[in-house]
Amino acid sequence: MSAPLKLMAVHAHPDDESSKGAATMARYVAEGVEVLVVTCTGGERGSILNPKMDRPDILENMGEVRRQEMAKAREILGVEQRFLGFVDSGLPEDENEPLPEGCFALQPLETASAPLVAAVREFRPHVILTYDDNGGYPHPDHILTNRVSIEAFEAAGDPDRYPGTGEPWQPLKLYYHMGFTRERFEALHDAMTARGIGSPYGDWIARWEDRPQKWDVTTRVPCAAYFETRDRALLAHATQVDPDGFWFVCPREVQEEVWPTEDYHLARSLVDTALPEDDLFTGIHAEVAPTCS
């Protein structure tokens, strides 16, 4: 027998884990991989994005509601999950608007990274998933999530850094989520149009020059069999996800046929691998030491 493979996904808020890489995680859980979602903030300053849930009592207790939603999504995906305990920064309407005092995005890098380094050293993942250096989109919490993920990847194996946060552990690969690419949305748009289904993606594609793609896709993980699990996890975040909204506008069967993968950019690797990949653990399986003979 060999030690189990381990995957850690680092996210900014509850619901991010269900909208980015959820089917990938569900697939690996089914295959026996241990998966931990680390959520940097509690999502306390999130807006109610599902009009069916727009009630004052929810808004007044947003932090607790979002924890309850996270618990449901965690159970659906079959993953472990922990909060790092930082406070949601919110999304300013104006880039010049100051962020709330004490929020996650205003934390010094070492302060924000220390609990993640501790989590890495305790869980001992082989692979870490996070956002790109623009946060996937420029939310201040997402941008800092990228920075703390890189810091933890580079520091967790160094015994001289972050003393008091556990025994050193070096992850082997770090990936960025690449779910929002022009290629994917063009494929879904063309498929919906060919089937006579109204597509909402035309305007997005027309404006894509305003959103140049910095990182290429290196890794496509087949996981269409788990899109249904992904959708149920998304719906568990009822304050954030409208069942009649954006996430479900493209029929699942079209997604399964046209784009049956979730996609990533390999940002760091300490093992040999050949690109493109179809498995986040390519090059790692042989590295996992046996636990018994």
Does the predicted TM-score (pTM) go above 0.85? yes
- Rg of the chain over Cα atoms, rounded to whole angstroms, equals 19
Rounded-to-integer distance, Cα 8 and Cα 10, Å: 6
Any binding-site annotation on 285? no
H helix or E strand, kind and range, residue 259: none
Name the token pair of 122: 């305790």
Per-residue pLDDT of the chain (293 residues; tens, 9 = 90+): 468 999 999 999 999 999 999 999 999 999 999 999 999 999 999 888 889 888 888 888 999 999 999 999 999 999 999 999 999 999 887 777 899 999 999 999 999 999 999 999 999 999 999 999 998 888 999 999 999 999 999 999 999 999 999 999 999 999 999 999 999 999 999 999 999 998 988 888 888 876 667 899 999 999 999 999 999 999 999 999 999 988 999 999 999 999 999 999 999 999 999 999 999 999 997 555 443 33
> Where in the sequence of the chain do the CATH 3.40.50.10320 domains occur?
6-178+215-287
13 carries a ligand binding annotation: yes
Structure tokens at 70: 């996270």
SS3 6: strand
Residues 18 and 76: their CA atoms lie apart, in Å, by 10
Rounded Cα distance between 22 and 42, Å, is: 19
Does CATH place domain 6-178+215-287 in 3.20.80.10? Answer: no
Q: Do 17 and 135 form a contact (C-beta atoms < 8 A)?
A: no
203 among annotated binding-site residues: no
Beta carbons within 8 Å of 92's beta carbon, 6+ residues apart: 98, 99, 140
Q: Using the 8-state DSSP alphabet, how is residue 277 labeled?
A: B
Please count the helices (runs of H) and the strands (runs of E) in the chain: 10, 7
The DSSP element (H or E) to which 261 belongs, if any, is strand 261-269
